[in-house]
Structure 1
């Protein structure tokens, strides 16, 4: 019996640091609540999607227009929100109901929006978002099983920036 306890303890001592490192550096699975990203996420009222959030993309500065990202809400730091990146620093975007019709995204910021226009608390409500508030990029829908798929980086045609910056924060 003692040998099994010793093996179990050894597994725990090795497994916990590996798990913590994975969640801290690579990513984790998160539940997506609400309708702001419909139809891509939570396509119906009675369905909840779970997505794999890749931290590595944010840590290596690999965020592009069209990516779906998780970020700390600029209005409530206790809340995380999930939105699509519409514009990067230097881009000029046409807004929907913001205090200015056209905004040049400032240095170190991005413009994020929900896909379900008019049903999203996003940059059209609070303005450009500091890149430092981004925590991860949504890469895959992992639950429910019938919705398993990769989340491509797509920007709806109607939301392409008016002017795209020649260079941006990420050097592309």
Structure 2
């Protein structure tokens, strides 16, 4: 009998550890299947981060040129009703390549008349449901001066903060350069 008792205790201990592993695995699966959809929804509807590449938004973003890339917080929630202001830095789907997102500054809104830089028309009245966007680094930016007014439906997010590198951590202000102000503003 004394010889049989340790074998029973070993089996009992293994059963208890298997029960613990099973409970932990079950809890992990429940948490995983709740956390993943919540995280995906948050990143798709509320906010996410993105690395800004290129020189088109210098000096506001990537002032160091190709040596560094700013990482920005993109707020999806803020543009859910397509409400933007002149001066906002926004992320949008490229009108020329739907696979690409671009980041530009809103210069003019629907009804505004804007003086263009190198566009086929010297003056453009922004149509209803559209905006005029430009990079801060004129001449090095593929923007509305190349493709015209952009539909608000292509709006992806509003860039609100620089998160990286740490020495550039700051809130992005919605500032419209005075030389890029619309000649005449529309109804907004």
Normalised by the length of structure 2, the TM-score is 0.86
* Alignment partners' CA distance in 1, 2:59 and 2:24: 50
Q: Offset of 1:11 from its aligned partner?
A: 1.6
Higher helix share: 2
Normalised TM-score (structure 1): 0.93
Q: Which runs of 5+ in 1 are unaligned?
A: none
What corresponds to 2:17 in structure 1? none
1:18 paired with 2:46, answer no
Map of 1:150 onto structure 2: 171
**C-alpha deviation, 1:2, in angstroms:** 2.1
Which structure is higher in RCO with an 8 Å CA cutoff and minimum separation 6?
Answer: 1
Give 5+ residue unaligned stretches, structure 2. Answer: 1-20
Aligned equivalents of 1:63, 1:126: Cα separation in 2: 20
RMSD, aligned CA: 1.0
* Residue equivalent to 1:89: 110
Deviation at 1:61, TM superposition (A): 2.8
1:31 to 29, 51, 55: 51
Q: Distance in 2 between matches of 1:105 and 1:144?
A: 36
Q: Is the 2:82–2:152 contact (alpha carbons within 8 Å) kept by the matching residues of 1?
A: no
Greater alpha carbon shift after TM alignment, 12-21 vs 107-116: 12-21
